[in-house]
Structure 1
Amino acid sequence: MRKIIAALNMTVDGICDHTAGIPDAEIHQHYTDLLGQGDAILYGRTTYELMEFWRTILENPSEQKSMNDFAVAIDRIPKIVFSHTLKNVDWKSASIAKRDLKDEVLELKQQPGKDIFIGSRSLIIQLLKLNLIDEFQLCIHPMLEGNGLQFFEDINDRIIFKLAKTKTFKNGAIILYYQPIKE
C-alpha cells in the first residue's frame, strides 16, 4: 500500500505561501530527490497554476543547476489537479482528477507503486480531516513572514503526531517528518 505524504514548505510563523521561504540549491536538490521517489503529486488549482512557473525554467534554463534539475523532476512526475473551475490542463504530465478527493486518494493508496505526494495546502487540510495522510514532511524555513496563508487553519479537532525523523539544511531550514497517530 502506498503512503500519502503531505510535503510543504512553511515559515516559523506558519505561513505556507509558495513565495515564502528561502529556497537554495540544497533544498531544491532535496525536493528533486523526493519527487523521484513518488508516483504522483496532487495539487489544487491555485498551487498547480503556481507550479507552472517551472515550465518556464525548462524552456529557458536558469543559471542555477539545482533549479533546472527541480524543473525536470516536477515536469516528469504525474500531477493530478483537483479543481471545480479548471476544465483542462496543457502540461503533458498533468491531468484533472476524475473523482472527488477522498475516492481518488483511497484508490491511489490501494495501487502498487511509490508514494503519492500532496503539494497544496487546501488538499492537505481536506485529507487531514479525512484521516488519509500517512506522513507530513514540513520544511520549516528560519524566518517570520509576518502575513500570508496560515497552514493549519480551520482545523477543529485535536491531532497528535509522532516525530519520525528530522533533516537539517545548512541555511537553517529543517524538515520535520511527522506521522499522525491514529486514535
Structure 2
Amino acid sequence: MRKVVAAFNMTLDGFCDHTAGIPDEEIHCHYTALLNNAAVIVYGRITYQLMEYWRPFVQTPSGEKSKDEFALAIDKIQKVVFSNSLKSIDWERAKLADGELKDEIIKLKQQSGGDILVGSRSLIIQLMNLNLIDEFQLCIYPVVVRQGLPLFENIDDRIIFKLLKTKTFARGSVLLYYQPTSVID
C-alpha cells in the first residue's frame, strides 16, 4: 500500500509562499530525489499552474544542473490535478482527477508502487481533515515574511505529530519529517 506524503515548503513564521523560499542546488537535488522515488504527485489547480514553470526547461535546459534535473523529474512524474475550473490540461504526464479527492486518494493508496506526494496547500488541508496523510516533510526556510497563507489553517481537529527525522541544509533550511500519531477533538 502506498504512503501519502505531504511535502511542502514554508517560512519560519509558518507561511506558504513559493516566492519567499530560498531554494538552492542542495534543495533542488533533495526534491529531485523525492520526485524520482515517488509514483504520483497530486496538485490543486493553482499549484499545478505554478509548476508548469518547469516545463520549458525540459526542452531548453537552463544550464544549472540541479534545476534542469528537477525539471526532468517534475516532467516525468505522474500528476493528478484536482480542479473545478480546468476542463483540460496538456502536460503529457498529467491528468485531471476523475472523482472526489477522498475517493481518488484511497484508490491511489491501494495501488502498489512509490509514494503519493501532495504538493498543494489546499489539498494538504483537505487530506489532513480526512486523516489521509501518512507523513509530512516540511522544509522550513530561514526567512520571516510576516504575511501570506498559513499551511495549517482550517484544520478540524488538534493533531499530534511524531518527529521521525530531520535534515539540515547548508544554507540553514531544515527539513522536518513528521508522522501524525493521533487526532484529538
With structure 2 as the length reference, what TM-score do the two structures score? 0.96
Residue 164 of structure 1: aligned partner: 164
**Whole-angstrom distance in 1 between the partners of 2:90 and 2:19:** 23
User: Secondary structure in 2 aligned to 1:143?
Assistant: coil
- Partner Cα distance (1:26, 1:47) in 2: 22
Structure 2: unaligned runs, 5 residues or longer: none
Q: What is the aligned partner in structure 2 of residue 128 from structure 1?
A: 128
- Does residue 47 (structure 1) correspond to residue 47 (structure 2)? The answer is yes
User: What aligned pairs does 1:51-62 form with structure 2 within 5 A after superposition?
Assistant: 51-62=51-62
CA distance in 2, matches of 1:31, 1:138: 12
Amino acid aligned to 2:137: Q
Deviations 1:116-156 (A, max 9, x none): 00000000000000000000000000110121111111124
* 2:95 corresponds to: 95
Which 5+ residue runs of structure 1 have no aligned equivalent? none
Q: Deviations over 1:39-81 (max 9, x none)?
A: 0000000000000000122233213110000000000000000
1:23-44 Cα deviation digits (max 9, x unpaired): 0000000000000110000000
Aligned residues: 183
TM-score for both structures, normalised by structure 1 = 0.97
Distance 1:45 1:116 in 2: 17
More deviation in 162-171 or 52-61? Answer: 52-61
1:181 is aligned to 181
| Structure 2 partner of 1:7 | 7
CA RMSD, Structure 1 to Structure 2 (Å): 0.9
Quick check: 131-140 or 153-162, which moved more? Answer: 153-162
Q: Quote the residue 1:107 is aligned against.
A: 107
Return the letter of the residue paired with 2:106.
L
Q: Aligned equivalents of 1:45 and 1:142: distance in 2?
A: 28
Cα deviation 1:83-142 (Å, max 9, x = unaligned) = 000011000010000010000000111111111000000000000000000000000001
Larger mean Cα displacement after TM superposition, 147-156 or 39-48:
147-156
State how far apart, in whole Å, the 2-side matches of 1:63 and 1:96 are: 32
